[in-house]
Amino acid sequence: MIMVNIAGIIKDVGTTTQVKTGAWRTFIPDVTDKCTGCKICESFCPDGCIKVNPKTKKAEIDYDYCKGCLICENECPFKAITSKMENK
Amino acid sequence: MKEIRVHGRGGMGAVTSAQVLAIAAFKDGKQTQAFPFFGVARRGSPVEAYCRIDKNFIRVRQQVSEPDYVLILDKSLVDAVDVLKGVNKDSIIIINSAETIKLKTKAKVYHVDASKIALDIFGKNLVNTPILGAFVKATGEVSLDSLNKTIIERFSENIAKQNIEAIKRAYDECSE
Amino acid sequence: MVLTVLEGSRAVAEAVRACRPDVVAAYPITPQTHIVQELANMNADGTLKSKHIEVESEFSAISAATGASAAGSRAYTASCSQGLALMHEVLFATAGMRLPVVMNIVNRSLAAPINIWNDQQDSISQRDAGWIQLYAETNQEAVDLTIQAFKIAEDKKVLLPIMVCLDGFFLSHTIEPVDMPDQKGVDKFLPKYNPTHAYLDPERPMTQGPFAFPRPYAELRKDLSDTIDASKDTIKKVSSDFKKQFGRQMGDGLTESYNLKGKKIAIITIGSLGGTVKEASDRKGDFGLLRLISFRPFPKVEIIKALKGIETVIVLEKNISLGTSNGAIFDEVRSALYAEKDRPKVIGYVAGIGGTEVTVNDVIKVVDKSKKQKDGEIGWLMGEP
């Protein structure tokens, strides 16, 4: 990227969402039936890509952005999140 | 001078790979240099690290643009970044993959399932040192003996033992 | 002496420990962080027996180091970029109070825009503060200059603070072989600091950094100027003393010439770019290198002498003196050569700003281009777009 305008001011904001960081994953987390919808994973996810679906009361992972850090798996008190190596 | 480029992802230890290679080559009596891509590395993002090996003291400090050897710690990087940049027909590429990978290059491509080796031995996907076993096999640029000595110096006893086992397996299992 | 492969920052931290500072006060900033981290580790492990002062900013770091030196102890700090800029006010006081503080600068650009990478804008911008400034080409030289710096700074004829500058990342984050001077050798080379001008002793009270009326102020400033000029002799002497003790020397301590004999074209640069230019000179031998190790004091006489017979001088520097269109060293080199008969044409390049790469090929191209250029022309090397 070359910034040629005055002071490199960025007026096109929120462009981070264009970077689909899901490609960075080595391990992929999976939410199993044990999920109680407690939202702990939601609050711990450093990328904000887990949301508990209000209808199903289950956590859902946005794999477009999930980097596979597995903090969710580590934090889940119900062992409801499992992970495996992703075959890309 | 031999120039090595390591492709990894933030947190995989690409810098450690380059550093361990440099120290091992130094133990073989050569002059060496290793440095990371000077960036803001985030866990999981594509990163690079570099290593140079030569008879004389290495004065150039630019990033490696025409590598003799390329180490790829994660095969998904093949689609994400230009791992073949500056590679020529005499280059050697070593990739962490269970099966042969077709790359658009005349360079020799070796593969080793370093992830499986790492999961078997460490229980974690730590491929940055195991893959160096494959590097030794494919290039002969550093000796296995010096590599193991470097590992013993750098890690605590048990971890060093596991690493040496992983390096040996990667050395044996690496193929074209 | 033990030859080991070490990260630049680690090597510098080891060198600092070998100098046995009484007080270390520093605030971490990229890319200097590893030095401070290592020193804190050594302190916690008990292998570095200095008083470690945790400070909340660089302003406090240099203030604490200055205060410690005023009390008569050997004081050390390290910084760069915005951190060094924040120290600006105190830097003048440290020098004016003639306190031999040693500071490593791990050179980095200045904001805005924010950039963490290497250029030398930070330390070059502090050139008028009265500090001696030495620049390293390799990690070995960073180690050697750091040890020499304490000896130069504490010399009774000098008593000035010193910045030992190493290029951020290019040196600080690179591992390469370094011959670490042994503790016994360093102890012999650098005895305990014995202050006779400024110290804290209730039996012998004194006022340091007093108020001065215009005439004495001007006299003291002139004395400061004369002292830093004269420090060249001490820098050279310490450099050759270091060689006697440890068997190595870069140039004469002030400058280093490489492949310059019989050449018509010379490149002047400072810091790690010296290695790139040496490599380029070996590959295409129609030019040589004059590397400035000392930027303050500015080795004017030495430059004139080294450039005798040279027809083209190219200054490659990692700073821009905004408002002059060129780097600060370009003007000083050209001015030094002004009175010479048959003075060479001088061409300037602002290069490697904000971490952009200057490659061996860039250097060769710059030399080829210079053959058709006129005196005073300025260019920029900005790497790949």
Contact A2 C385 (CB under 8 A): yes
- Using an 8 Å CB-CB cutoff, list chain C residues near A8: 112-113
What is the ipTM for the molecules in this complex? 0.92
Q: What is the pLDDT along chain B (176 residues), one digit of tens a residue?
A: 999 999 998 888 899 999 999 999 999 999 999 999 876 667 778 899 999 999 999 999 999 999 999 999 999 899 889 999 999 999 999 999 999 988 999 999 999 999 999 999 998 888 999 999 999 999 999 999 999 999 999 999 999 999 999 999 999 999 98
Mean pLDDT over C209-214 rounds to 96
Output the DSSP codes for B147-159.
Answer: HHHHHHHHS-HHH
Contact C113 A2 (CB under 8 A): no
Residue A88: pLDDT band (50, 70, 90) is: low
Q: φ and ψ at A27, to 5 degrees?
A: -110, 145
Output the DSSP codes for A7-18.
Answer: GG---S--GGGG
**What pLDDT, on a 0 to 100 scale, did the predictor assign at position B124?**
85
**What pLDDT, on a 0 to 100 scale, did the predictor assign at position A12?**
85
pLDDT at C6 over 80: yes
CATH number belonging to the domain at A28-88, selected among 3.40.50.2020, 3.30.70.20, 3.40.50.300, 3.40.50.720 = 3.30.70.20
**What pLDDT, on a 0 to 100 scale, did the predictor assign at position A19?**
84
Touching chains, B (3+ CB pairs < 8 A)? A, C
Contact B45 A88 (CB under 8 A): no
Contact B9 A24 (CB under 8 A): yes
Token pair listed for C302: 């030495």
Q: How many C-beta atoms surround the C-beta of residue C192 within 10 A?
A: 9
Work out how many domains chain B is built from and give that number: 1
Residue in the structure block whose two tokens are 């300025």: C378
Amino acid at C93: A
Structural domain of B68: 2-173
- Using an 8 Å CB-CB cutoff, list chain C residues near B31: 176-177
CA–CA separation, C67 and A9 (whole Å)? 41
- Cβ of residue B150 closer than 8 Å to a chain A Cβ: no
Q: Which of C313, C311, C315 is nearest to C348 (CA)?
A: C315
CB A40 within 8 A of CB A77: yes
Contact A24 B45 (CB under 8 A): yes
Q: Which CATH superfamily is domain C2-246 in?
A: Thiamin diphosphate (ThDP)-binding fold, Pyr/PP domains (3.40.50.970)
Q: Which of C85, C106, C87 is nearest to C95 (CA)?
A: C87
Give contacts of C 101-120 with A, CB under 8 A: 112-113
Please tell me whether residue A64 adopts helix, strand or coil conformation.
coil
Length of chain B: 176
**What pLDDT, on a 0 to 100 scale, did the predictor assign at position C385?**
77
CA–CA separation, C41 and C28 (whole Å)? 13
What's the CATH fold of domain C255-381? Rossmann fold (3.40.50)
Instruction: Compare CB distances from B125 to A23, A69, A85 and report the shortest one's residue.
Output: A85
For residue B17, give the CATH number of its domain. Answer: 3.40.920.10
